[in-house]
Structure 1
C-alpha cells in the first residue's frame, strides 16, 4: 500500500539541506533588495511626494478636459526654486496628478498645442500619460 522511499545517505541529506538553505537565503535576499529599491524610489523619485509649493498660474486645455496648474516651491537656503506642474481632470472624477517637476525654475510658460499636448517651459508632454522629471533626465 505504501510506496517505499529511496534511502538517502547522510551525504545526500546534507546536500539537500544545503540547497534548501541557499534557496531560502536567496529568496530573502531578493525580497530585501526589492524592498530597499522601492524605498529609495519612494523617498527620492516618487512624483506624488513632491512639495506643494505656492500657486503660480493655471491654463485650461482647448477642449476644457484638463487644467494644468503650476506651483513654485522654495527648497530652502541650500537649493534653488523648482516648478511643479499638476494636471487636473475637469470632466472626470480622477485624482489630479503631478506631471512636471523641474529644478531652477520659478516661472511657468504653459501653452497647449492641442487637446492632449502641453508645452511647459519648452518641455512637450502628451497628457495624461506624459511626465517630465529632471531627476530622471
Structure 2
C-alpha cells in the first residue's frame, strides 16, 4: 500500500505541489474572510456608555460607543467581563447604527442589550449574522 502512494508522489510531483499550494491559499483566504466578517473580538472598544453587574456579581457587561470615522455610522460594542474567574474579556454584542447601550439582566445567565437577549457566557449577537 505504501509503495503505491510513494510511486504516485514520485510520478506526479507537479500535481502534488499544486494541490498543496491550492490548499494553503484556500486556508489563508478562509482565515481572512473569518477575520473580516465573523470575528468581533478584533474590534476596539470606544467610549464607555454603560456598565451593569449580574445579579450574583459573577459577570459585568459594559457597552461602548464605537466611532468608525467620518464615513461610517456609530456602533455599539458589548463586552462581558468575569468577576470571579481571571479570564479575558469577551465581546458579546455588536450593533451598527446605534448609539444607546441599555443593559438589563434577565437572570444570571441571560442579559438583554438594546432588546437582544444573549445567553452568558457562550452566546453573542452580531448584527451581520442574525
Question: TM tier, shorter chain?
Answer: 0.7 to 0.9
Which region of structure 1 is more displaced relative to structure 2, 95-104 or 21-30?
21-30
Match of 1:17 among 7, 11, 15: 11
Q: How much is the aligned-residue C-alpha RMSD, in angstroms?
A: 1.9
1:49 aligns with 2:42: yes
Contact 2:9 2:16 in 1 (8 A): no
Consecutive unaligned residues in structure 1, runs of 5 or more? 1-12
Q: Considering only CA atoms, is the larger Rg found in Structure 1 or Structure 2?
A: 1
What CA distance in whole angstroms lies between the structure 2 residues aligned with 1:71 and 1:95?
17
Match of 2:110 among 114, 117, 122: 117
Contact 2:54 2:105 in 1 (8 A): yes
SS of the residue corresponding to residue 135 of structure 1 reads coil
Which region of structure 1 is more displaced relative to structure 2, 83-92 or 28-37?
28-37
Consecutive unaligned residues in structure 2, runs of 5 or more? 1-6
1:10 equivalent in structure 2: none
What CA distance in whole angstroms lies between the structure 1 residues aligned with 2:66 and 2:8?
61
Deviation by residue 1:55-113 (Cα, 9 ceiling, x = unmatched): 11101111100000000011112111100000000010011111100001100121111
2:65 equivalent in structure 1: 72
